[in-house]
Amino acid sequence: MMSTELRDWLRDQPADLFRFRHGIEKEGLRTDASGQISQTNHPQALGSALTHPQITTDYSEALLEFITPARTRPEDTLQDLADLHRFALHVNPQEDIWPASMPAVLDGELSVRIAEYGSSHIGRLKNAYRHGLWHRYGRIMQTIAGVHFNYSVPDSFWPAWQVRQGSDSSPSDFRSQSYFGLIRQFRRHSWLLLYLFGASPAVDRSFLREGSARMQQHGEYSLLMQDATSLRMSDMGYTNAAQQSLKVCFNSLPTYIETLHRALHTPYPPYQSIGIKKGEQYQQLNANILQIENEYYSDIRPKRNGQSGEKPLAALKRDGVEYVEIRCLDLNPYLPLGIDADQIRFLNWFLFWCLVTEGRRISDVECERVGFNQRLAVLYGRDPKLRLVGEDRVQTLRDWGASVLDEISALVEAAAPEDAAAVQSSLTQYRRWLQQPGLTPSGRMHDELRNRPAEFRDHARTLARQHRSVLTEQAPDPDLLQRMQAMSARSLEEQAALEAASEGSFDEFVARYMGQSA
Protein backbone atom coordinates (compact mmCIF):
# COMPACT_ATOMS: atom_id res chain seq x y z
CA MET A 1 0.00 0.00 0.00
CA MET A 2 1.30 3.44 -0.93
CA SER A 3 2.48 5.51 2.03
CA THR A 4 1.00 8.92 2.81
CA GLU A 5 4.47 10.43 2.45
CA LEU A 6 4.91 9.06 -1.08
CA ARG A 7 1.39 10.19 -2.03
CA ASP A 8 2.13 13.72 -0.82
CA TRP A 9 5.47 13.77 -2.66
CA LEU A 10 3.85 12.71 -5.92
CA ARG A 11 1.18 15.39 -5.59
CA ASP A 12 3.88 18.05 -5.24
CA GLN A 13 5.71 17.10 -8.47
CA PRO A 14 5.16 18.75 -11.87
CA ALA A 15 3.47 16.74 -14.62
CA ASP A 16 6.69 16.70 -16.66
CA LEU A 17 8.16 14.12 -14.29
CA PHE A 18 5.54 11.60 -15.43
CA ARG A 19 6.02 11.90 -19.19
CA PHE A 20 7.57 8.47 -19.52
CA ARG A 21 9.51 7.53 -22.62
CA HIS A 22 8.75 4.28 -24.37
CA GLY A 23 9.58 2.51 -27.60
CA ILE A 24 8.46 -0.76 -29.13
CA GLU A 25 10.24 -3.57 -30.95
CA LYS A 26 7.52 -5.63 -32.62
CA GLU A 27 8.22 -8.94 -34.34
CA GLY A 28 6.12 -10.71 -36.94
CA LEU A 29 6.73 -13.60 -39.32
CA ARG A 30 6.31 -13.08 -43.04
CA THR A 31 3.97 -15.74 -44.42
CA ASP A 32 2.72 -16.73 -47.85
CA ALA A 33 -0.93 -16.87 -48.89
CA SER A 34 -1.39 -20.34 -47.38
CA GLY A 35 -0.02 -19.35 -43.98
CA GLN A 36 3.35 -21.05 -44.50
CA ILE A 37 6.47 -19.36 -43.18
CA SER A 38 8.07 -17.39 -46.02
CA GLN A 39 11.05 -18.86 -47.83
CA THR A 40 11.96 -15.60 -49.59
CA ASN A 41 14.78 -13.23 -48.79
CA HIS A 42 14.22 -10.18 -46.63
CA PRO A 43 12.67 -7.80 -49.20
CA GLN A 44 15.30 -5.47 -50.61
CA ALA A 45 12.71 -2.67 -50.69
CA LEU A 46 12.76 -2.76 -46.89
CA GLY A 47 16.46 -1.96 -46.89
CA SER A 48 19.29 -3.68 -45.08
CA ALA A 49 18.33 -5.77 -42.05
CA LEU A 50 21.83 -5.06 -40.76
CA THR A 51 21.83 -1.26 -40.83
CA HIS A 52 18.22 -0.07 -41.11
CA PRO A 53 17.36 1.73 -37.84
CA GLN A 54 13.71 0.69 -37.81
CA ILE A 55 13.21 -2.45 -39.94
CA THR A 56 15.35 -5.50 -39.28
CA THR A 57 15.03 -9.24 -38.71
CA ASP A 58 15.35 -11.32 -35.57
CA TYR A 59 16.51 -14.93 -35.73
CA SER A 60 14.86 -15.98 -38.96
CA GLU A 61 15.11 -14.39 -42.38
CA ALA A 62 11.28 -14.33 -42.27
CA LEU A 63 10.96 -12.77 -38.81
CA LEU A 64 10.50 -9.03 -39.31
CA GLU A 65 11.23 -6.65 -36.45
CA PHE A 66 9.85 -3.12 -36.43
CA ILE A 67 11.53 -0.63 -34.09
CA THR A 68 9.94 2.65 -33.04
CA PRO A 69 11.83 5.65 -31.63
CA ALA A 70 11.30 6.67 -28.01
CA ARG A 71 8.10 8.68 -27.56
CA THR A 72 6.06 10.04 -24.66
CA ARG A 73 2.56 9.66 -26.19
CA PRO A 74 1.17 6.20 -26.93
CA GLU A 75 -0.64 7.57 -29.97
CA ASP A 76 2.67 8.69 -31.50
CA THR A 77 4.25 5.30 -30.88
CA LEU A 78 1.33 3.52 -32.52
CA GLN A 79 1.49 5.86 -35.50
CA ASP A 80 5.19 5.04 -35.93
CA LEU A 81 4.39 1.33 -35.74
CA ALA A 82 1.51 1.64 -38.18
CA ASP A 83 3.73 3.50 -40.66
CA LEU A 84 6.27 0.67 -40.59
CA HIS A 85 3.56 -1.95 -41.11
CA ARG A 86 1.98 -0.04 -43.99
CA PHE A 87 5.31 0.42 -45.73
CA ALA A 88 6.21 -3.27 -45.36
CA LEU A 89 2.83 -4.42 -46.67
CA HIS A 90 2.96 -1.88 -49.51
CA VAL A 91 6.34 -3.01 -50.86
CA ASN A 92 5.67 -6.70 -50.23
CA PRO A 93 1.99 -7.21 -51.19
CA GLN A 94 2.27 -10.95 -51.83
CA GLU A 95 3.01 -11.79 -48.18
CA ASP A 96 1.22 -11.23 -44.86
CA ILE A 97 2.55 -10.50 -41.39
CA TRP A 98 1.54 -13.31 -39.02
CA PRO A 99 -0.43 -11.80 -36.11
CA ALA A 100 0.23 -14.43 -33.42
CA SER A 101 3.26 -15.06 -31.24
CA MET A 102 3.30 -18.80 -31.91
CA PRO A 103 4.42 -19.32 -35.49
CA ALA A 104 2.78 -19.97 -38.80
CA VAL A 105 2.81 -23.31 -40.60
CA LEU A 106 6.31 -24.81 -40.61
CA ASP A 107 7.77 -27.65 -42.64
CA GLY A 108 10.43 -28.89 -40.25
CA GLU A 109 13.56 -27.26 -38.91
CA LEU A 110 15.02 -26.34 -42.28
CA SER A 111 11.93 -24.38 -43.31
CA VAL A 112 13.17 -21.74 -40.85
CA ARG A 113 15.85 -19.87 -42.75
CA ILE A 114 18.58 -18.32 -40.62
CA ALA A 115 18.73 -14.54 -41.05
CA GLU A 116 21.49 -13.24 -43.31
CA TYR A 117 23.17 -9.85 -43.05
CA GLY A 118 25.63 -9.68 -45.91
CA SER A 119 29.37 -10.24 -46.16
CA SER A 120 30.71 -7.64 -43.71
CA HIS A 121 32.42 -9.00 -40.62
CA ILE A 122 29.65 -7.76 -38.31
CA GLY A 123 26.99 -9.18 -40.64
CA ARG A 124 28.67 -12.57 -40.69
CA LEU A 125 29.01 -12.45 -36.89
CA LYS A 126 25.25 -11.98 -36.51
CA ASN A 127 24.66 -14.93 -38.83
CA ALA A 128 27.18 -17.12 -36.99
CA TYR A 129 25.52 -16.31 -33.65
CA ARG A 130 22.19 -17.47 -35.08
CA HIS A 131 23.80 -20.70 -36.27
CA GLY A 132 24.78 -21.20 -32.65
CA LEU A 133 21.18 -20.70 -31.54
CA TRP A 134 20.13 -23.31 -34.09
CA HIS A 135 22.56 -25.92 -32.81
CA ARG A 136 21.76 -25.15 -29.17
CA TYR A 137 17.98 -24.78 -29.24
CA GLY A 138 16.76 -25.65 -32.71
CA ARG A 139 15.47 -23.37 -35.41
CA ILE A 140 11.76 -23.81 -34.73
CA MET A 141 11.92 -22.19 -31.29
CA GLN A 142 13.39 -19.10 -32.94
CA THR A 143 10.20 -18.45 -34.94
CA ILE A 144 8.31 -17.29 -31.84
CA ALA A 145 7.44 -13.58 -31.99
CA GLY A 146 6.60 -10.97 -29.39
CA VAL A 147 6.57 -7.32 -28.42
CA HIS A 148 9.50 -5.79 -26.56
CA PHE A 149 8.66 -2.63 -24.62
CA ASN A 150 11.48 -0.18 -23.84
CA TYR A 151 10.85 2.18 -20.93
CA SER A 152 12.53 5.04 -19.10
CA VAL A 153 11.49 7.90 -16.86
CA PRO A 154 12.45 11.50 -17.76
CA ASP A 155 15.91 12.77 -16.84
CA SER A 156 14.22 15.46 -14.76
CA PHE A 157 12.73 12.77 -12.50
CA TRP A 158 16.03 11.53 -11.14
CA PRO A 159 17.32 14.55 -9.15
CA ALA A 160 13.94 14.95 -7.43
CA TRP A 161 13.69 11.23 -6.67
CA GLN A 162 17.26 11.07 -5.37
CA VAL A 163 16.60 13.92 -2.93
CA ARG A 164 13.42 12.22 -1.80
CA GLN A 165 15.29 8.93 -1.27
CA GLY A 166 18.15 10.65 0.56
CA SER A 167 20.79 8.87 -1.50
CA ASP A 168 24.39 10.10 -1.61
CA SER A 169 25.34 7.85 -4.56
CA SER A 170 26.49 9.38 -7.81
CA PRO A 171 23.59 10.23 -10.16
CA SER A 172 24.58 7.38 -12.49
CA ASP A 173 24.82 4.83 -9.70
CA PHE A 174 21.54 5.98 -8.16
CA ARG A 175 19.75 5.66 -11.48
CA SER A 176 21.12 2.13 -11.98
CA GLN A 177 20.21 1.13 -8.43
CA SER A 178 16.68 2.45 -8.93
CA TYR A 179 16.21 0.65 -12.23
CA PHE A 180 17.40 -2.58 -10.64
CA GLY A 181 14.81 -2.05 -7.90
CA LEU A 182 12.22 -1.68 -10.68
CA ILE A 183 13.45 -4.89 -12.27
CA ARG A 184 13.14 -6.84 -9.01
CA GLN A 185 9.58 -5.63 -8.44
CA PHE A 186 8.77 -6.39 -12.06
CA ARG A 187 9.98 -9.96 -11.72
CA ARG A 188 7.91 -10.41 -8.56
CA HIS A 189 4.79 -9.31 -10.41
CA SER A 190 5.34 -10.16 -14.08
CA TRP A 191 2.74 -12.93 -13.71
CA LEU A 192 0.17 -10.12 -13.98
CA LEU A 193 1.42 -9.20 -17.45
CA LEU A 194 1.40 -12.86 -18.47
CA TYR A 195 -2.25 -13.08 -17.41
CA LEU A 196 -3.42 -9.81 -18.95
CA PHE A 197 -1.44 -9.88 -22.19
CA GLY A 198 -0.59 -13.52 -22.80
CA ALA A 199 -2.16 -14.54 -26.10
CA SER A 200 -0.71 -17.94 -26.93
CA PRO A 201 -2.78 -20.83 -25.48
CA ALA A 202 -2.58 -22.70 -28.81
CA VAL A 203 0.08 -23.90 -31.24
CA ASP A 204 0.12 -25.47 -34.67
CA ARG A 205 1.13 -29.14 -34.83
CA SER A 206 3.97 -28.18 -37.15
CA PHE A 207 5.56 -26.33 -34.20
CA LEU A 208 5.21 -29.24 -31.78
CA ARG A 209 5.10 -32.33 -33.94
CA GLU A 210 5.46 -34.80 -31.09
CA GLY A 211 2.55 -33.22 -29.25
CA SER A 212 2.41 -32.62 -25.50
CA ALA A 213 0.82 -34.50 -22.63
CA ARG A 214 -0.34 -31.15 -21.21
CA MET A 215 -2.16 -30.07 -24.39
CA GLN A 216 -5.35 -31.21 -26.05
CA GLN A 217 -5.68 -32.03 -29.72
CA HIS A 218 -8.08 -29.69 -31.51
CA GLY A 219 -9.01 -30.50 -35.05
CA GLU A 220 -6.28 -31.92 -37.26
CA TYR A 221 -3.54 -29.34 -36.85
CA SER A 222 -4.01 -27.54 -33.51
CA LEU A 223 -3.02 -28.11 -29.89
CA LEU A 224 -4.74 -26.22 -27.06
CA MET A 225 -4.07 -25.83 -23.34
CA GLN A 226 -7.15 -25.14 -21.23
CA ASP A 227 -5.98 -22.32 -18.92
CA ALA A 228 -2.66 -21.35 -20.49
CA THR A 229 -1.89 -17.67 -21.04
CA SER A 230 1.47 -17.56 -22.83
CA LEU A 231 2.94 -20.80 -24.13
CA ARG A 232 5.54 -18.54 -25.73
CA MET A 233 6.95 -17.97 -22.23
CA SER A 234 6.67 -21.63 -21.19
CA ASP A 235 9.24 -24.41 -21.41
CA MET A 236 8.29 -24.94 -25.05
CA GLY A 237 9.34 -21.34 -25.76
CA TYR A 238 12.00 -19.11 -24.28
CA THR A 239 13.47 -21.29 -21.57
CA ASN A 240 16.39 -23.69 -21.60
CA ALA A 241 18.28 -25.94 -19.22
CA ALA A 242 21.71 -24.32 -19.64
CA GLN A 243 20.50 -20.95 -18.34
CA GLN A 244 18.53 -22.33 -15.40
CA SER A 245 21.71 -22.36 -13.30
CA LEU A 246 22.47 -18.67 -13.78
CA LYS A 247 20.13 -17.44 -11.00
CA VAL A 248 20.10 -13.88 -12.29
CA CYS A 249 17.81 -12.10 -9.82
CA PHE A 250 19.05 -8.57 -10.49
CA ASN A 251 20.17 -7.48 -7.04
CA SER A 252 22.72 -5.00 -8.38
CA LEU A 253 24.38 -3.92 -11.61
CA PRO A 254 27.82 -5.27 -10.57
CA THR A 255 26.46 -8.72 -9.69
CA TYR A 256 24.38 -8.79 -12.88
CA ILE A 257 27.46 -8.00 -14.98
CA GLU A 258 29.56 -10.51 -13.06
CA THR A 259 26.98 -13.30 -13.43
CA LEU A 260 26.59 -12.84 -17.18
CA HIS A 261 30.35 -12.39 -17.63
CA ARG A 262 30.88 -15.74 -15.90
CA ALA A 263 28.27 -17.38 -18.15
CA LEU A 264 30.04 -15.95 -21.20
CA HIS A 265 33.27 -17.67 -20.11
CA THR A 266 32.01 -20.93 -18.58
CA PRO A 267 32.15 -23.96 -20.92
CA TYR A 268 29.02 -26.07 -21.12
CA PRO A 269 29.68 -29.74 -22.03
CA PRO A 270 26.66 -30.22 -24.35
CA TYR A 271 27.77 -27.15 -26.32
CA GLN A 272 31.38 -28.30 -26.35
CA SER A 273 30.19 -31.44 -28.13
CA ILE A 274 28.83 -29.26 -30.96
CA GLY A 275 32.22 -27.77 -31.75
CA ILE A 276 32.99 -24.22 -32.86
CA LYS A 277 33.52 -24.69 -36.59
CA LYS A 278 32.85 -27.29 -39.22
CA GLY A 279 35.12 -26.46 -42.09
CA GLU A 280 34.75 -22.72 -42.66
CA GLN A 281 31.22 -22.57 -41.18
CA TYR A 282 30.84 -21.46 -37.58
CA GLN A 283 28.57 -23.78 -35.62
CA GLN A 284 28.51 -21.30 -32.73
CA LEU A 285 30.66 -18.41 -31.51
CA ASN A 286 31.91 -20.33 -28.47
CA ALA A 287 31.00 -23.39 -26.39
CA ASN A 288 30.09 -21.48 -23.23
CA ILE A 289 26.73 -21.15 -21.46
CA LEU A 290 26.16 -17.94 -23.43
CA GLN A 291 27.71 -16.99 -26.77
CA ILE A 292 26.92 -13.29 -26.25
CA GLU A 293 24.86 -11.33 -23.71
CA ASN A 294 21.73 -11.26 -25.88
CA GLU A 295 21.44 -15.04 -25.63
CA TYR A 296 20.31 -14.68 -22.03
CA TYR A 297 16.52 -15.05 -22.21
CA SER A 298 15.01 -12.90 -19.47
CA ASP A 299 11.58 -11.33 -19.20
CA ILE A 300 13.28 -7.98 -18.53
CA ARG A 301 16.73 -6.52 -19.24
CA PRO A 302 18.64 -3.44 -18.09
CA LYS A 303 19.79 -1.59 -21.21
CA ARG A 304 22.17 1.16 -22.33
CA ASN A 305 22.66 2.49 -25.84
CA GLY A 306 26.30 1.69 -26.54
CA GLN A 307 28.85 2.70 -29.10
CA SER A 308 29.04 0.99 -32.49
CA GLY A 309 30.42 -2.53 -32.08
CA GLU A 310 30.41 -2.28 -28.29
CA LYS A 311 29.15 -5.16 -26.18
CA PRO A 312 26.03 -4.42 -24.09
CA LEU A 313 27.70 -5.28 -20.77
CA ALA A 314 30.59 -2.93 -21.52
CA ALA A 315 28.16 -0.06 -22.11
CA LEU A 316 26.30 -0.84 -18.88
CA LYS A 317 29.50 -1.02 -16.88
CA ARG A 318 30.73 2.29 -18.24
CA ASP A 319 27.61 4.46 -17.93
CA GLY A 320 24.98 2.49 -16.03
CA VAL A 321 21.37 1.66 -16.87
CA GLU A 322 19.60 3.99 -19.29
CA TYR A 323 16.29 2.15 -19.69
CA VAL A 324 14.69 -1.27 -19.26
CA GLU A 325 13.40 -3.64 -21.91
CA ILE A 326 10.29 -5.73 -21.17
CA ARG A 327 10.37 -9.01 -23.09
CA CYS A 328 7.44 -11.12 -21.84
CA LEU A 329 4.68 -9.62 -23.99
CA ASP A 330 2.86 -11.71 -26.58
CA LEU A 331 1.50 -10.21 -29.74
CA ASN A 332 -2.20 -9.55 -29.37
CA PRO A 333 -3.45 -11.32 -32.52
CA TYR A 334 -6.70 -9.34 -32.48
CA LEU A 335 -4.93 -5.99 -32.92
CA PRO A 336 -3.45 -4.93 -36.30
CA LEU A 337 -0.28 -3.72 -34.54
CA GLY A 338 -0.18 -6.39 -31.82
CA ILE A 339 -0.54 -3.77 -29.06
CA ASP A 340 -2.78 -0.77 -28.34
CA ALA A 341 -2.75 2.51 -26.42
CA ASP A 342 -4.43 1.06 -23.32
CA GLN A 343 -1.69 -1.54 -22.95
CA ILE A 344 1.05 1.06 -23.43
CA ARG A 345 -0.46 3.35 -20.78
CA PHE A 346 -0.82 0.46 -18.38
CA LEU A 347 2.77 -0.68 -18.93
CA ASN A 348 4.06 2.85 -18.33
CA TRP A 349 2.37 3.04 -14.94
CA PHE A 350 2.92 -0.57 -13.95
CA LEU A 351 6.63 0.00 -14.46
CA PHE A 352 6.54 3.31 -12.59
CA TRP A 353 4.80 1.52 -9.73
CA CYS A 354 7.61 -1.05 -9.78
CA LEU A 355 10.12 1.82 -9.62
CA VAL A 356 8.69 3.71 -6.65
CA THR A 357 7.67 0.76 -4.51
CA GLU A 358 10.15 -1.06 -2.32
CA GLY A 359 12.39 -3.17 -4.58
CA ARG A 360 14.22 -5.05 -1.83
CA ARG A 361 16.82 -7.65 -2.72
CA ILE A 362 15.69 -11.07 -3.92
CA SER A 363 17.04 -14.02 -1.95
CA ASP A 364 17.77 -17.38 -3.52
CA VAL A 365 14.56 -18.75 -1.96
CA GLU A 366 12.49 -15.90 -3.35
CA CYS A 367 14.17 -16.29 -6.72
CA GLU A 368 12.77 -19.82 -6.87
CA ARG A 369 9.36 -18.55 -5.80
CA VAL A 370 9.36 -15.87 -8.51
CA GLY A 371 10.07 -18.48 -11.16
CA PHE A 372 7.42 -20.80 -9.71
CA ASN A 373 4.72 -18.09 -9.90
CA GLN A 374 5.68 -17.25 -13.47
CA ARG A 375 5.41 -20.89 -14.54
CA LEU A 376 2.01 -21.21 -12.88
CA ALA A 377 0.72 -18.06 -14.58
CA VAL A 378 1.98 -19.22 -17.98
CA LEU A 379 0.37 -22.66 -17.86
CA TYR A 380 -2.68 -22.17 -15.62
CA GLY A 381 -3.17 -18.42 -15.35
CA ARG A 382 -6.83 -18.33 -16.44
CA ASP A 383 -7.93 -20.84 -13.81
CA PRO A 384 -9.95 -18.63 -11.41
CA LYS A 385 -8.78 -20.75 -8.48
CA LEU A 386 -5.06 -20.45 -9.28
CA ARG A 387 -3.10 -19.39 -6.20
CA LEU A 388 0.32 -17.78 -6.21
CA VAL A 389 2.90 -17.69 -3.44
CA GLY A 390 3.72 -14.28 -2.00
CA GLU A 391 6.23 -13.30 0.65
CA ASP A 392 3.89 -13.90 3.57
CA ARG A 393 0.81 -15.60 2.16
CA VAL A 394 -0.75 -17.59 -0.63
CA GLN A 395 -3.53 -15.85 -2.58
CA THR A 396 -5.35 -16.17 -5.86
CA LEU A 397 -3.89 -14.52 -8.93
CA ARG A 398 -7.22 -12.72 -9.29
CA ASP A 399 -7.09 -11.15 -5.79
CA TRP A 400 -3.38 -10.32 -5.90
CA GLY A 401 -3.76 -8.79 -9.35
CA ALA A 402 -6.69 -6.64 -8.19
CA SER A 403 -4.63 -5.30 -5.28
CA VAL A 404 -1.78 -4.36 -7.67
CA LEU A 405 -4.22 -2.54 -9.95
CA ASP A 406 -5.62 -0.68 -6.94
CA GLU A 407 -2.12 0.44 -5.95
CA ILE A 408 -1.37 1.64 -9.48
CA SER A 409 -4.69 3.50 -9.54
CA ALA A 410 -3.79 5.29 -6.29
CA LEU A 411 -0.40 6.18 -7.76
CA VAL A 412 -2.00 7.68 -10.86
CA GLU A 413 -4.49 9.61 -8.74
CA ALA A 414 -1.71 11.13 -6.65
CA ALA A 415 0.58 11.97 -9.58
CA ALA A 416 -2.29 13.33 -11.71
CA PRO A 417 -0.54 12.93 -15.10
CA GLU A 418 -1.94 14.56 -18.20
CA ASP A 419 -3.52 11.28 -19.35
CA ALA A 420 -4.82 10.24 -15.91
CA ALA A 421 -8.37 9.60 -17.13
CA ALA A 422 -7.17 7.34 -19.95
CA VAL A 423 -4.89 5.40 -17.59
CA GLN A 424 -7.71 4.89 -15.09
CA SER A 425 -9.95 3.72 -17.94
CA SER A 426 -7.39 1.07 -18.91
CA LEU A 427 -7.18 -0.07 -15.27
CA THR A 428 -10.96 -0.44 -15.20
CA GLN A 429 -10.82 -2.60 -18.30
CA TYR A 430 -8.11 -4.84 -16.87
CA ARG A 431 -10.05 -5.27 -13.62
CA ARG A 432 -12.82 -6.77 -15.76
CA TRP A 433 -10.27 -9.06 -17.38
CA LEU A 434 -9.19 -10.30 -13.95
CA GLN A 435 -12.77 -11.20 -13.13
CA GLN A 436 -13.59 -12.64 -16.56
CA PRO A 437 -10.65 -14.65 -17.98
CA GLY A 438 -12.47 -15.08 -21.29
CA LEU A 439 -11.93 -11.37 -22.01
CA THR A 440 -8.14 -11.71 -22.05
CA PRO A 441 -6.44 -12.30 -25.43
CA SER A 442 -5.50 -15.84 -24.38
CA GLY A 443 -9.04 -16.53 -23.18
CA ARG A 444 -10.54 -15.14 -26.34
CA MET A 445 -8.20 -17.20 -28.53
CA HIS A 446 -8.85 -20.39 -26.59
CA ASP A 447 -12.64 -19.97 -26.53
CA GLU A 448 -12.92 -19.03 -30.20
CA LEU A 449 -10.96 -22.10 -31.22
CA ARG A 450 -12.70 -24.41 -28.75
CA ASN A 451 -16.24 -23.27 -29.55
CA ARG A 452 -16.03 -23.65 -33.29
CA PRO A 453 -14.26 -26.07 -35.67
CA ALA A 454 -11.45 -23.64 -36.43
CA GLU A 455 -7.79 -24.55 -36.72
CA PHE A 456 -5.26 -22.20 -35.12
CA ARG A 457 -3.49 -21.79 -38.48
CA ASP A 458 -6.72 -20.81 -40.26
CA HIS A 459 -7.87 -18.47 -37.50
CA ALA A 460 -4.53 -16.64 -37.44
CA ARG A 461 -4.40 -16.45 -41.23
CA THR A 462 -7.86 -14.88 -41.29
CA LEU A 463 -6.76 -12.31 -38.70
CA ALA A 464 -3.63 -11.54 -40.73
CA ARG A 465 -5.72 -10.77 -43.78
CA GLN A 466 -8.12 -8.63 -41.77
CA HIS A 467 -5.20 -6.63 -40.38
CA ARG A 468 -3.74 -6.20 -43.86
CA SER A 469 -7.09 -4.86 -45.06
CA VAL A 470 -7.27 -2.37 -42.18
CA LEU A 471 -3.68 -1.19 -42.59
CA THR A 472 -3.79 -0.88 -46.38
CA GLU A 473 -7.26 0.59 -46.65
CA GLN A 474 -5.60 3.80 -47.71
CA ALA A 475 -2.43 4.05 -49.79
CA PRO A 476 0.65 5.17 -47.83
CA ASP A 477 1.09 8.90 -47.57
CA PRO A 478 3.45 9.98 -50.42
CA ASP A 479 5.75 11.83 -48.01
CA LEU A 480 5.93 8.79 -45.73
CA LEU A 481 6.63 6.53 -48.68
CA GLN A 482 9.40 8.79 -49.92
CA ARG A 483 10.94 9.04 -46.46
CA MET A 484 10.84 5.27 -45.90
CA GLN A 485 12.25 4.55 -49.35
CA ALA A 486 15.11 6.96 -48.68
CA MET A 487 15.81 5.30 -45.33
CA SER A 488 15.88 1.87 -46.98
CA ALA A 489 18.22 3.06 -49.74
CA ARG A 490 20.54 4.67 -47.20
CA SER A 491 20.68 1.47 -45.16
CA LEU A 492 21.73 -0.52 -48.22
CA GLU A 493 24.50 2.00 -48.87
CA GLU A 494 25.65 1.71 -45.24
CA GLN A 495 25.76 -2.08 -45.49
CA ALA A 496 27.84 -1.84 -48.67
CA ALA A 497 30.21 0.55 -46.92
CA LEU A 498 30.63 -1.87 -44.02
CA GLU A 499 31.37 -4.69 -46.43
CA ALA A 500 33.98 -2.61 -48.24
CA ALA A 501 35.61 -1.58 -44.95
CA SER A 502 35.90 -5.08 -43.47
CA GLU A 503 39.61 -5.83 -43.23
CA GLY A 504 41.53 -8.85 -42.07
CA SER A 505 40.11 -12.33 -41.67
CA PHE A 506 36.71 -13.05 -40.20
CA ASP A 507 38.30 -15.37 -37.62
CA GLU A 508 40.42 -12.46 -36.37
CA PHE A 509 37.34 -10.25 -36.17
CA VAL A 510 35.45 -12.86 -34.15
CA ALA A 511 38.39 -13.27 -31.79
CA ARG A 512 38.61 -9.50 -31.21
CA TYR A 513 34.86 -9.17 -30.66
CA MET A 514 34.66 -12.11 -28.29
CA GLY A 515 37.73 -10.85 -26.44
CA GLN A 516 36.05 -7.59 -25.40
CA SER A 517 35.67 -7.41 -21.65
CA ALA A 518 32.75 -6.01 -19.74
DSSP annotation string for 220-244: TTEEE-TT-SBGGGSTTSS--HHHH
Per-residue pLDDT at 114:
98
Give the residue from 245, 249, 254 showing the smallest Cα distance to 361.
249
User: What pLDDT does 241 receive?
Assistant: 66
Contact 27, 7 (CB under 8 A): no
pLDDT in tens, the chain (518 residues): 788 999 999 999 999 999 999 999 999 999 999 999 999 999 999 999 999 999 999 999 999 999 999 999 999 999 999 999 999 999 999 999 999 999 999 999 999 999 999 999 999 999 999 999 999 999 999 999 999 999 999 999 999 999 999 999 999 999 999 999 999 999 999 999 999 999 999 999 999 877 777 899 999 999 999 999 999 999 887 656 677 777 776 899 999 999 999 999 999 999 999 999 999 999 999 999 999 999 998 999 999 998 877 888 999 999 999 999 999 999 999 999 999 999 999 999 999 999 999 878 888 888 889 999 999 999 999 999 999 999 889 999 999 999 999 999 999 999 999 999 999 999 999 999 999 999 999 999 999 999 988 899 999 999 999 999 999 998 888 999 999 999 999 999 999 999 999 999 999 999 998 887 65
Asked whether the CA dihedral 194, 196, 199, 200 is positive or negative, the reply is positive
Return the sign of the alpha-carbon dihedral for residues 331, 82, 42, 57: negative
44-48's contacts with Cβ under 8 Å and 24+ in sequence apart are 44/492, 45/91, 45/92, 45/485, 45/488, 46/87, 46/88, 46/91, 46/92, 46/488, 47/487, 47/488, 47/489, 47/490, 47/491, 47/492, 48/117, 48/118, 48/488, 48/491, 48/492, 48/494, 48/495
pLDDT, residue 213, reads 76
Query: What is the secondary structure of 173-197 as a DSSP string?
Result: HHHHHHHHHHHHHHHHHHHHHHHHH
